[in-house]
Amino acid sequence: MISRAGFDYVRNLVALRAGIRFEPGLEYLLESRLLPLARLYKASSVNEFIRMMQNGAIRDPEQNLIEALADKETSFFRDVRPFDGLRRSILPELISKRGSKRKLSFWSLGCSTGQEPYSLALLLREYFPDLQTWELEILASDVSGEALHTARAGLYNQIEVNRGLPAALLVKHFQKDGLGWRLKEEIRRRVQFSQLNLFESWPAPRKFDVILLRNVIGHFAPEPQSEILRKVRRRLEPDGLLFLGSKEAPPAIGEIFEEVKLDKGLCYRPQPGGEDEVEESAEDRERKLRELGNWAQLAQLAIAPAGIDREKVSALLAADEEIKGRLLDSLQRELGEKKMSEKMAGEAMAQARREQLFATAVTTPITKALNESFQSMLSVGVEPGDLTVFDADAQELVSGSAKLSGIAAGRLSVRFRPDLARDLTVEALGLSPEDVAPEVVNDFIGQVVSLVSNLANTSLSSAGLKCKLEAVEITRGKRAKTAMTAKAVLLPLVFQYQSRHPIWLDIFISALE
Amino acid sequence: MHVLTVDDSRASRLVIVRFLTDLGFQATEAVDGTEGLRYLRGGRKFDVILVDWEMPGMSGVEFIRAVRSDAATIDTPIIMISTLNSSDRLVEALEAGANEYIMKPFTKEILAMKLDLLGVESK
């Protein structure tokens, strides 16, 4: 279990450095996300990993944490309406205004794995073919280097291309590549990706026609929200437009932008002014905090220099005993306020245990292929409330050769018919049948069984699981469908842990025919 | 909003109907293409049709062609839902007249997003 001091250290660091919020009560979640990182650095536990970071044994600890903890949720044409608005009114208007310059520029901020800027590129390609002779610029930035790596590759798994991407665009602009789909080079090269942490200094201001800042700043504190919005204003043409997430309404927005109503939804145009504003430097920020006597914030700066000169802060601390004392006081006070209720602590611990089991299972190497397929599945987010659990009726719907049965007394036993076990192994590992020795089958099925067992324990101890699953059997179906069956077995396991929801039985059953 | 779901698998229909109900749609089930066409030709009005590809008798693609050949349903949005996931199959379904395609396995969120793309709203 992550220590409270460790939790607070990480939480403060990522909040200050990248606006990532982990409220008390989410210790288990934080720990489960850090566990793979701890393993990577060969730490025996997350607590040890945190100590290693504090002792300077980890290079660039902040970026490591950001990679592990940043929200990567995205989808093609997310929420549809902003893209409809661009297509129907915003772009036609901009195109007529820019007719003499024949130039348009877009910036997708917080682009995650690239679906947003690529949706924009696809939209321009499909609906505004005349723009092909214009100078079009689509920039896309994100704080996570890992997300940008995926974005540049333009390779998405089946679930990602199922989410929000029109099928007609999928077949026209993507090519099947292994288990995934790769966006064709022609669209990929339209987008330039770069790494940017919104909490650090931004590239020098230059003007864009449209900026997308969707589902990025909604959960930031008001102060950075307003600062970021001001920076965005300085980078928009006076008649340029800003899109926020459909449910985002930062308190400061009205002072900096004015609403532009679309047929459905809205976007924003810069309020006049702001041209003379100078972006706050790290030194300014430090000075302001000192003047305000905001010791808590200063203390955090000392823990996690957010783009400021680390040596300067050290010098400041070394030079001024009084400040140092007050910093420490306020740090302690902050920590003291974060006592969790006992119930919450208990729940967090149980959850952490489950997450650990999962992390252990998925990080145990079986084969590279299997691990990779797990990794790609892990990148898929599941929203709370998405889940439907089947009732006892489900058991009579399917019958077949592999048996998941006997959920009782916290145990689930799994039996696979030998030839099915072999087919599953072949499909899941992507090997030819001749190459699959009986030991490989045993090893693979053993892994599946242990995952399923963990799953059963989790399900039974989870308060969320209301129904009792007596016996669910998997229909093997035609041989051609074996791959699906393999996915049907693996996906729910992964989703279960990834989402911390009860069995992902919908997918399980919908994959069967 | 009323959705017709055509699928020979009871398990699949159960999942789809559950998803649709949760999303605020009314659903009618047909166990094969013939029954689906009977509902459509019997004058019942549907706002969207979801159809499986591989069914005994009439395939999903044949069903779509039949739906499209009828003036009354020529514009009704159709989503094909199938485990078949090659580019050629997707193209075949779209050319037959499907408006969208969902590759199994899928989630409720994916179905909602596809309905959203077709401009179909539950209310």
Checking if the pLDDT of A440 tops 70, the result is: no
The mean pLDDT value of chain A amounts to 68
β A236-244/A208-213 pair status:
parallel
Range from A326-340, A371-385, B107-121 carrying the lowest mean pLDDT: A371-385
- Residues A474, A390: Cα–Cα separation, whole Å: 14
Q: Is the pLDDT of residue B74 over 60?
A: yes
pLDDT of residue A121: 98
Average pLDDT of span A131-149: 94
Helix A4-18 and helix A295-303, axial crossing angle in degrees, nearest 10: 90
Do A108 and A142 share a domain, yes or no? yes
Beta bridge pairs of residue B30 = B6
Interface of B with A (CB under 8 A): 9-12, 14-16, 18-19, 22, 52, 54, 83, 85-87, 90-91, 93-94, 98, 100-110, 113, 116-117
User: For residue A265, what are the CA distances in angstroms to A46, A82, B76?
Assistant: 43, 7, 26
* Whether A193 and A237 share a structural domain: yes
Q: Is the pLDDT of residue B14 over 50?
A: yes
- The two three-digit tokens of residue B51, written as one number: 């159809």
**Where is pLDDT greater, at A479 or A47?**
A47
Sign for the pseudo-dihedral over CA of A226, A228, A230, A236: negative
pLDDT recorded at residue A114: 98
Complete DSSP assignment for A356-369: HHHHHHHHS-S-HH
Residue with tokens 């499986």: B52
Strands A103-109 and A208-213: parallel
Q: Is A275 exposed, middle or buried (0-12, 13-18, 19+ CB in 10 A)?
A: exposed
The residue with greater pLDDT, A381 or A173, is A173
Give the rounded percent of residues in chain A with a pLDDT score beyond 70. Answer: 54
Contact B15 A168 (CB under 8 A): no
Q: B90: which chain A residues are within 8 Å (Cβ-Cβ)?
A: 167, 170-171
Taken as a whole, chain A contains a residue count of 513
Same domain, A303 and A253: no
Q: Which two three-digit tokens encode residue A113? A: 């794995």
Among A197-201, A448-452, A475-479, B119-123, the least confident range: A475-479
Same domain? For A98 and A36 the reply is: no
Whether A282 is covered by a domain: the verdict is no
Task: Using the structure block, give the residue that is written with the tokens 């990679």.
Answer: A67
pLDDT band at A178 (very low <50, low <70, confident <90, very high): confident
When CB atoms are compared, the residue of A77, A170, A491 closest to B105 is A491
Interatomic CA distance for residues A274 and A260, integer angstroms: 19
If asked whether residues A395 and A469 sit together in one domain, one would say: yes
The Cα B49–Cα B3 span in angstroms is: 6
Residue A502 lies in a domain: yes
For residues A223, A226, A230 and A232, what is the CA-based torsion angle, rounded to 10 degrees?
A: 110
Closest to A396 in 3D by CA, of A467, A459, A475: A475
A65 shares a domain with A87: no
**pLDDT for A55 beyond 90:** no
Q: Are residues A50 and A107 in the same domain?
A: no
State whether A130 and A197 are in the same domain. Answer: yes
A493 located within any domain: yes
Rg over CA atoms, chain B: 13
pLDDT surpasses 70 at A59: yes
Identify the pLDDT of residue A35.
Answer: 84
DSSP annotation of A434 reads: G
In this structure, how many other beta carbons lie within 10 angstroms of the beta carbon of residue A396? Answer: 10
Contact B76, B96 (CB under 8 A): no
Task: Tell me the pLDDT band of A301, cut-offs 50, 70 and 90.
Answer: low
**Cβ-based contacts under 8 A for chains A and B:** 98
SS3 A143: coil
Residue type at B99 in one-letter notation: N
Indicate whether A99 and A247 sit together in one domain.
Answer: yes
Distance from CA of A178 to the nearest CA of B (A): 11
Tell me whether residues A162 and B102 touch, CB distance under 8 A: yes
Quickly list DSSP for A32-56: HHHHHHHHHTT-SSHHHHHHHHHTT
Three-state secondary structure readout of A215-273: CCCCCCCHHHHHHHHHHHHHCEEEEEEEEECCCCCCCCHHHHEEEEECCCCEEEEECCC
Residue ranges of domains in chain B, CATH in brackets: 2-117 (3.40.50.2300)
Q: Tell me the C-alpha distance between A96 and A270, whole Å.
A: 20
**Does residue A100 have a pLDDT over 80?**
yes
Residues 6+ apart with CB under 8 A from A162: B102, B103, B106, B110
Average pLDDT of the residues in A457-463: 30
Structural domain contains residue A53: yes
Cα angle value A373/A376/A377 (rounded, 5°): 85
Structural domain total, chain A: 3
Tell me: pLDDT of A458 over 60: no
The residues, ordered by sequence, that sit 6+ positions from A438 with a Cβ below 8 Å of its Cβ are: none
Interface contact flag, A506 B19, Cβ < 8 Å: yes
Q: Which domain holds residue A325?
A: 4-69+292-336
β-pair partners for A461: none
Residue A479 forms part of a structural domain: yes
| Min Cα–Cα distance to chain A from B72, Å | 24
- Chain B: residue whose CA lies nearest to A495: B107
Model confidence at A448, pLDDT cuts 50, 70, 90, reads low
Percentage, residues of chain A above pLDDT 90: 35
- What ipTM is given for this predicted complex? 0.95
Grade residue A203 by pLDDT with cuts at 50, 70 and 90: confident
Would you give the DSSP letter of residue A340?
A: P
**pLDDT, tens digit (0-9, with 9 covering 90-100), for A351-386:** 443 443 333 333 332 223 333 333 333 222 222 222
A357 within some domain: no
Q: What is the pLDDT of residue A473?
A: 28
Separation of alpha carbons B12 and A510, rounded Å: 5
- Among A80, A164, A397, select the one facing B10 at the smallest CB separation: A397
User: Who contacts B40 (Cβ-Cβ below 8 Å, separation ≥6)?
Assistant: B4, B46, B49, B67, B70, B72, B73
Q: What is the pLDDT of residues B86-102, one digit of tens each?
A: 999 999 999 999 999 99
* The pLDDT of residue A174: 97
Q: Is A498 exposed, middle or buried (0-12, 13-18, 19+ CB in 10 A)?
A: buried
Q: Do A246 and A117 belong together in one domain?
A: yes
Please indicate, yes or no, if residue A485 is contained in any of the structural domains: yes
B contacts of A162 (beta carbons < 8 Å): 102-103, 106, 110
More confident residue, A215 or A284: A215
CA distance A157 to A148: 16
Query: Which has the higher per-residue pLDDT, A407 or A200?
Result: A200
Cα(A24)–Cα(A28) distance, rounded to whole angstroms? 10
Is A435 a domain residue? yes
Beta bridge partners of A473: A403
Q: How far is residue A199's CA from residue A205's CA, in Å, rounded to a whole number?
A: 15
How many CA atoms are closer than 13 Å to the CA of A380, on its beta-carbon side? 25
- Whether residue A155 is found in the same domain as residue A242: yes
Considering only CB atoms, A167 lies closest to which of B101, B106, B107, namely B101
B59 to A168, B17, B56: CA distances (angstroms): 21, 20, 7
Question: Is the domain of A48 the same as that of A148?
Answer: no
Contact A176 B87 (CB under 8 A): yes
Closest CA–CA distance from residue A80 to any residue of chain B (Å): 7
Which of A163, A171, A487 shows the shortest C-beta gap to B90? A171
Residue A240 backbone dihedrals phi, psi, to 5 degrees: -75, 170
First to last CA, chain B: 7
Beta carbons within 10 angstroms of residue A186's beta carbon: 10
Is B15 in Cβ contact with A510 (below 8 Å)? Answer: yes
How far is the C-alpha of A306 from the C-alpha of A318, rounded, in Å? 19
Measure the CA dihedral A346/A388/B20/B33, to 10°.
160
Residue of chain B with shortest Cα separation from A481: B83
